[in-house]
Amino acid sequence: MLKQFMITAGVGVFILSGAQTASANDITPATLLNTTKSIEKTEQEVKQSKQAVAKAEQQIEQIEAKTETLQAEIDDVTKQIDAYRDELAPADASLFQQVLSSVLPSAKAEAAESEKQHQAILNQKATAEKTLDDLSAQQEEVTASKEETQSAYAAAAEQMKAQSNKLNDLKKQHAAMAPDKFMMPANGRLSQGFGPASGQFGYTFHNGIDIAAKVGTPIYAAADGKVIEVSGRGPYGKHVKIEHNIDGQKWTTVYAHMHKIDVKKGQTVRQAEGIGQIGNTGNSSGPHLHFEVHKGSYSFSPSSAGNTVDPMKVAELLGGASAVKATY
């Protein structure tokens, strides 16, 4: 059944506005691949934004803790200053005591000691006031830092929200375009189907499909996977094998009789990524792509299906259309 989806114009990434309904005929492998790349890029952006939000949250917590510590220190110093002021408050003395302090040697000594203590308290008070000024200045800096960090947090959170919305839209768009399992790997005509064969080239069962097209026609990876073999020898001629993991199930796809190979063994490929060109190498009677889908590891049998699956049953056109009579 043909999927309906939203597709928009854009360079490299999709602009999720001004969309219009489109069918599978309106998209290409490049469209799907660009969406995949946009998803990967946006996922990385969301990850970075989450890290920025978490960092800002941590900084705010640290600043709040420092603010509480500073305020506690300011309160303590303020209490000390008040205590010094109380100690420095002049005490009422009787006229008789004032006369004695100016005449008696012992009273003079006592007055001198009192003056010394008074000066010591004045010094302590001055030191405490200087400490209070320094703490107040630090408090102002911390307050400004908190406001700046809160602003950065708000911006990062807003950016993360926008990126998350964009990512959700891209994933919906990708899901609407991408086949459930595999996409048809080339544009051409179905020249031979899956099933019993004439015995030409030594096999009585054709365990794939043949897509006939001009030499040089692009070939695309049918699904995300890893290239496990690149070769130019044998009946397949120039060929590539890709291993996939789809919903926990291992699959292997084969692309044979290629003219040109654009991938290397061990390379990771995305669905719809170009891997080479249709050719006429190996046991081939004309330019075409021989395409196989194995459920599990590659296992060839010249006389039975073995573990191969009819690609027409698991490979779809872009947009979800069933590939019944022709490839896209």
DSSP character at residue 12: S
**Paired tokens of 286:** 């004309």
Report the relative pairing of strands 315-316 and 288-295 from DSSP bridges: unpaired
Contact call for residues 319 and 27 (beta carbons, < 8 A) = yes
Q: Could you give the CA distance from residue 194 to residue 205 in angstroms, rounded to a whole number?
A: 8
pLDDT tens for each residue of the chain, 328 residues long: 333 333 333 322 332 223 333 455 568 899 999 999 999 999 999 999 999 999 999 999 999 999 999 999 999 999 999 998 888 887 554 555 555 556 656 666 766 777 888 888 889 989 989 999 999 999 999 999 999 999 999 999 999 999 999 999 999 999 888 888 899 999 888 999 999 987 777 789 999 999 999 999 999 999 999 999 999 999 999 999 999 999 999 999 999 999 999 999 999 999 999 999 999 999 998 999 999 999 999 998 989 999 999 999 999 888 655 454 444 4
**Paired tokens of 326:** 């022709």
Contacts of 245 (CB under 8 A, 6+ apart): 225, 251
Q: Which amino acid is at 119?
A: Q
pLDDT of residue 171: 95
pLDDT of residue 202: 78
Residues 204/210/215/218 CA torsion (nearest 10 deg): -140
Q: Could you give the CA distance from residue 44 to residue 42 in angstroms, rounded to a whole number?
A: 5
The pTM for the full model equals 0.74
Q: Could you give the CA distance from residue 221 to residue 1 in angstroms, rounded to a whole number?
A: 22
**Paired tokens of 196:** 């019993």
Chain centre distance of CA 89: 67
Q: Could you give the CA distance from residue 28 to residue 143 in angstroms, rounded to a whole number?
A: 55
Residue 203's SS3 state is coil
Q: Tokens 């107040």 label which residue? A: 136
Q: How many helices (DSSP H) and strands (DSSP E) are in the chain? A: 4, 16
**Paired tokens of 218:** 């692009």
**HEC profile for 101-148?**
HHHCHHHHHHHHHHHHHHHHHHHHHHHHHHHHHHHHHHHHHHHHHHHH
Contact call for residues 219 and 274 (beta carbons, < 8 A) = yes
Contacts of 125 (CB under 8 A, 6+ apart): 81, 84, 85, 88
pLDDT of residue 1: 31
State the CB neighbour count (10 A cutoff) for residue 228.
Answer: 15
Q: Which amino acid is at 305?
A: A
State the CB neighbour count (10 A cutoff) for residue 143.
Answer: 13
pLDDT of residue 3: 39
Contact call for residues 183 and 319 (beta carbons, < 8 A) = no
Contact call for residues 328 and 29 (beta carbons, < 8 A) = no
Helix, strand, coil share (%) of the chain residues, nearest 5: 45, 25, 30
Residue among 170, 128, 141, 3 at smallest CA distance from 66: 141
